[in-house]
Amino acid sequence: MPTNRLLFQHGDTLALPSGPGETHLYKVERRRRDGYVLSSMSGAPDSLWTHERIYDIYTASQLQHWPCNLASLDQNIAEMLQTDVEGWPERLVFEARCRESYVRYTKRLRDRGLPANLAYDRSAKVVTRAYRKKWARESLHIAVMEAEAAAAVGRKPKSTHLVQPIDPKPFKLTEHGVRKWYQVWEQAGYDLRSLIAKYHKRGHHKPRAVSRVHEQDDPNKPLCVYGAMEKIGRTVWMSKLKVTKTYAYKRFRELCKEINVEPFSRSAFVKFLHKRYSEFEIFRSKHGARLAYLKYNIFERRKLPKRALEEVEVDHCLLDVWVKDKHGRKARPWLTVLICRATKMIVGYHLSFDVPSYTTLSRAIIHAMAPKDLSNFPEIENDWPCHGVFDFLITDRGMEFLSESLNRAGKALRFAIVNLPGRMPHLKGTVERYFATLGIRVLSHMEGTTLSRTEVYDPKAAARFTLEELSCRILKWIVDDYHQTEHGTLGMAPVAKWKELVDDSIDGGVRPVGNFKNLVMLMGEIARRKISNVGIHFENNLYASHELTALRKRHGGLKNWYQILADPVDRGHLWVLDTVEKRWLVVPVANARTAKGLNKFAMKVVMRMARKMVAKGETITDAVMEEARERCDREALTAHNRSALRYMSDGALATPVLGNNNILTVLAGAVMPTPGAYDDDQGELFGEYHEAPAQPAASDVPHVVRASVKSKSKPKPEPLVAAKPKDADTAVPETPPQQSAAPKGPSALDLLIARGASSRKALL
């Protein structure tokens, strides 16, 4: 066991803790058998400190020791002894070590018995002659380094070739100079810091004029020269305009003339600005708080989560490549990616010409949570094992991430949404880095890429790959390259890290979706509507079924607001929440020819076309809506703008998903119907209708009628494909029969997010 007795001499100074966050200085008076008698420099009476107590403080790194009496030293030297040597400029430390050579040689001579005067004189001559050339080389090196540092911060580059070596004249001393250094060095306990030159104490440090800043009621009306400098520094120097110090000093002199005070010199004014405002404050005032935060703050790397799918980042990116659609139109696609922070695995993505919206986000989340089926891609050699519900979804502050629909989906699927501060992409650097890697390793090698910008290269004209071909390239690179290559942060391949975390016997596994066949429904857009006598009005369409009649007949059915979910890809149906039966009802659109197969954006385009086709104040009928859709379908096939590509977006998943779920099977393929060839059969979308009894009586079906529009002498354009004949002028929804055993809908769960210091807990 180590000894607990520390050796101190009489007159030594100790810094010992005297309370929480407080430290006092003590002087060693004498030593006793059981400890030391210490006298406080603050005036408290002497006290006995045992060896055990001092040793415990020493091992707790709370003891500081100086082999001298700080109270008897000059105040400036005492302050120097409480600093770190490395914190002083290199030239001052160099000069202090040169002086140390003199005093150490002097001490050696005096230890041999040489008189003090002779020791001082011999040391001044011998040491200078022995180290003169060496010190000259070191002085030249320091001078060059100082010149380079000055050129780095100066406006004009300064040459370092003409730097002359500094002749160490201060080291060519007499015995009086050595005596002065030796006496200070000896009193300070032979400490190098006592020999550092105190150049910072030079000059007049007292106020040069009377300060009346404390008397000022209004900072814009200074009463003294210090108030004038403060005002000019705040209003002129710290303004967003990039002004020079000369201009600021000119304004300072004008202000001093107005208030009738004597101005300081330009050097004093510049020193005031340098002392009053830090570099961070100046940069923030001129460039903004965000740029200053990014430039001067230190960002630490967070520890990786301990479980797979614990934290997932999501973001959109406009890819740097031009591709074509099926009709040869060219545009740059948008990519939505979800990536796991713990494993760096891409858990899902969505690629389309649609702009970032809740539509693209919902399809990417569906693809991320569903098991992937790669059997249709024989060129892919490996598997894509990612699926399941994540715990935290890390997003920026995009509108789709702040939507009520995503918050409701998070509660239903039991994942929390973490919205990071805006314009802070470094906080989700995993997905941002992935976009950069994708652009370099995949897109830069494709024809049509925008990464190679030259005067003779037109990326749009060089584009020859289709959107489907680009999706296949990205898919193969993700599965066979990115997932299989060692990641620098992980030290292993992402797929190996995924297998390691998922196969863990304690925290392994992934959370499944509660009801997999309701996954698309749970990611729908939320809205609230009343049930009228013709059904539900939603985005200028009518949705009706005899199940809505049963809801309307209940108590409060005429006044209640019902929660509905709409598929952003297909407006041909809605889900309506039955709060009594605690289940979701599937309600088809009354006229499938006007809305089935249309996404949210396409539905708005059709409605805008319908408004142009009727006069102001006239009602839009089903016939007008059908004609408007036929026109929009034809124009979407020939137009070359991005709106036409968004109109044709079908929301197909990046890859097929496993399972026999009818909704997911349809969504994985093309759901956009052929223009003019519409289908009234709603049963192909919903698997619940296949096990239904007979159709109810026609009298039970609600009668939906739209107001007719006055006939116009407009020739109706011919459709590209012959449409099915209409059965009647009125729009009667084809209502599917009731299901025998409807599944219960998701319950609304409140998420409690508890973030621990070491790891996050999964939502239960």
**CATH number for region 311-502:** 3.30.420.10
Residues 412-436 have pLDDT tens digits of 999 999 999 877 888 889 999 999 9
Phi, psi for residue 303 in degrees, rounded to 5: -75, 145
Secondary structure (DSSP) of 100-163: HHHHHHHHHHHHTT--HHHHHHHHHHHHHHHHHHHHHHHHHHHHHHHHHHHHHHSSS---STTP
pLDDT digits over 325-383, tens only? 988 999 999 999 999 999 999 999 999 999 999 999 999 999 999 999 999 899 999 99
R_g over Cα of the chain: 40
pLDDT digits (tens, 9 = 90+) for 599-612: 999 999 999 999 99
Task: Indicate the pTM of the whole model.
Answer: 0.67
CA distances from 424 to 129, 396, 435, 498, 568 (A): 61, 8, 16, 28, 29
Q: Could you tell me what percent of the chain has a pLDDT over 90? A: 52
| 363, 334 Cβ separation under 8 angstroms | no
Average pLDDT over residues 126-135: 90
Structure tokens at 544: 């009706």
Question: Both tokens of residue 60?
Answer: 């707790």
Quote the pLDDT of residue 728: 34
Percent of the chain beyond pLDDT 70? 83
Domain ranges of the chain: 13-72, 85-201, 213-296, 311-502, 516-700
Residue-wise pLDDT for 46-59, tens only, equals 889 999 889 988 98
Given this model, what pLDDT does residue 145 score?
87
Which among 601, 559, 566 has a CA at the least distance from the CA of 587?
A: 566
Q: For residue 713, with 0-12 CB atoms within 10 Å meaning exposed, 13-18 middle and 19 or more buried, which class applies?
A: exposed
Task: Return the number of other C-beta atoms located less than 10 Å from residue 273's C-beta.
Answer: 18
The pLDDT value given to residue 159: 55
